[in-house]
Structure 1
Amino acid sequence: MTVSEPVPLVFVPADGAVREAVTKVGGQPVWLEEPQWPLSRETGRPMEFLGQFALEGGRLALLFMTGDEGEYVDGTWEPEGGENALVIQPGGRVPDFVTVERRAEGPSAGPDHLPRHIDSAEHSGEHSNEEEDRRPWQFLGGPGVEPHWLQGDETPGDGWQLVVQLDSGKLPFDVNFGDAGVGYAFLSPDGKEGRFLWQCT
């Protein structure tokens, strides 16, 4: 497979609530099937909706992570820790380490923002060495798009495809990916399950 060079991405405010099955961060999820809102393994409360990302065939990957809500919950960085979830709709499969409820709306990281690609002149990195700083740290995935890892390679397994890489310093609202952290969302080889993890400096 040919490796594609990722295009740097920012998110800009939407004119209002986004109700279409498009890539966005913030707001409320656009459900394509029965709602499947993930719950924190530790607290049992609804996770925070971070965003949704368009997949091939009109599907969506909906990203959730346990928010602080006044108390620290550990393990949001772990792909199978039960404190984050990447829900695939339609036709997805909720993994056994995630509990969901039929809730259409819930906690959100912030208001709706839509993606905008930026050119390299607008891009500046904030991570590690000079060579890596010239690479984008926030971009959409897809066939042939490889993640830029802050630490070591943590791809969930063979054939898993990057959906999106998110830079906590370039998101339009606060998310806890640790110190200058980067989040990575992946789609399983059969296209039915998602995984999310983050790394920090």
Structure 2
Amino acid sequence: MVVESGPVPVEFVPAGRVVGEPVTKVGGQPVWLESAQWPLSKDSGEPMEFIGQFELPGDRLAYVFMTENAPGTFVPDGGENAVIVQPGGRVPAFVAGVRDLTSGPSLGDDHLAVPGKLDEDGESWQFLGGPGVEPLWLQGEETPGEEEGKPWDLLVQLDATAMPVYVNFGDAGIGYAFLAPDGGEGRFLWQCT
């Protein structure tokens, strides 16, 4: 499910199988397009937990990771979360390192993306983004690059209360993944109520 423009409400449903295709999903294991680049926690040095992978234009994927139960996972460049882009992406400088792992910690079983529903106000708190799509912030603007006048594109907004598996984004939190203007790397952060 690739988004060309406008937010696309999404929900994740059990795949009922191991997903080995390069599609948008949460849980399971990453489907690496190049050599595996599993990011490591700055705090512990252990592999971060795989949240999901998201399709990008040009047959690319963005992989989102976050350290389970570590302080500072809400900080976009604190070393406890990462967005890895393949092919041709770069590992963000704040990531403590990567390992060539094909499997590691994950949210659980594979869940595939399907079109989601809008609420009674015609909104959805969980959606795939794209160029020009604005996040729905819980605590205030935190778009990477905004302060330099080069805002990054929202890749996905994940609502912890709508996820099919447990993810710790605080109290009723929202996770936000972004891509740099050149598409070579990403940032992830979360806010809660």
Q: Which residue of 2 aligns with 1:65?
A: 66
Q: Which residue of 1 aligns with 2:127?
A: 139
Alignment of 1:192 onto 2:180: no
Partner SS, residue 162 of structure 1: strand
Instruction: Tell me if structure 1 keeps the 8 A contact 2:172–2:192.
Output: yes
Match of 1:101 among 99, 102, 114: 99
Instruction: Tell me if structure 1 keeps the 8 A contact 2:169–2:175.
Output: yes
Alignment of 1:91 onto 2:88: yes
Instruction: Tell me if structure 2 keeps the 8 A contact 1:7–1:119.
Output: no
Shift of 1:118: 2.5
Shift of 1:9: 1.4
State the alpha-carbon separation in 2 of the partners of residues 7 and 107 from structure 1.
Answer: 28
Q: Unmatched 5+ residue regions in structure 2?
A: none
Identity %: 65
Match of 1:180 among 141, 147, 172: 172
Q: Which residue of 2 aligns with 1:130?
A: none
Instruction: Tell me if structure 1 keeps the 8 A contact 2:6–2:130.
Output: no
Shift of 1:5: 4.9
Instruction: Tell me if structure 1 keeps the 8 A contact 2:117–2:124.
Output: no
Instruction: Assess, with a 3 A threshold, how the Cα gap between structure 1 residues 118 and 95 changes in structure 2: closer, same or farther.
Output: closer
**Deviation per CA, 1:102-143, whole angstroms, max 9, x where unpaired?**
1111011010001111332xx36xxxxxxxx65211000112
**Deviation per CA, 1:39-79, whole angstroms, max 9, x where unpaired?**
111011110000000001000000000013xxxx2000000
Instruction: Tell me if structure 1 keeps the 8 A contact 2:7–2:130.
Output: no
Superposed, 1:117-128 pairs within 5 Å as 117-120=115-118, 123=119
Q: Which residue of 2 aligns with 1:127?
A: none
| TM-score after normalising by structure 1 | 0.88
| TM-score after normalising by structure 2 | 0.91
Letter of the aligned partner of 1:97 in structure 2? F
Range with bigger deviation, 78-87 or 150-159: 150-159
**How many residues are aligned here?**
184
Q: Unmatched 5+ residue regions in structure 1?
A: 125-132
Q: Which residue of 1 aligns with 2:137?
A: 149
State the alpha-carbon separation in 1 of the partners of residues 92 and 133 from structure 2.
Answer: 24
Instruction: Tell me if structure 2 keeps the 8 A contact 1:168–1:182.
Output: yes
Structure 1 runs (4+) deviating above 6 angstroms are none
Instruction: Assess, with a 3 A threshold, how the Cα gap between structure 1 residues 191 and 7 changes in structure 2: closer, same or farther.
Output: closer
CA RMSD of aligned residues (A): 1.3
Q: Which has the larger radius of gyration?
A: 1
Q: Which residue of 1 aligns with 2:33?
A: 32
State the alpha-carbon separation in 2 of the partners of residues 26 and 148 from structure 1.
Answer: 23
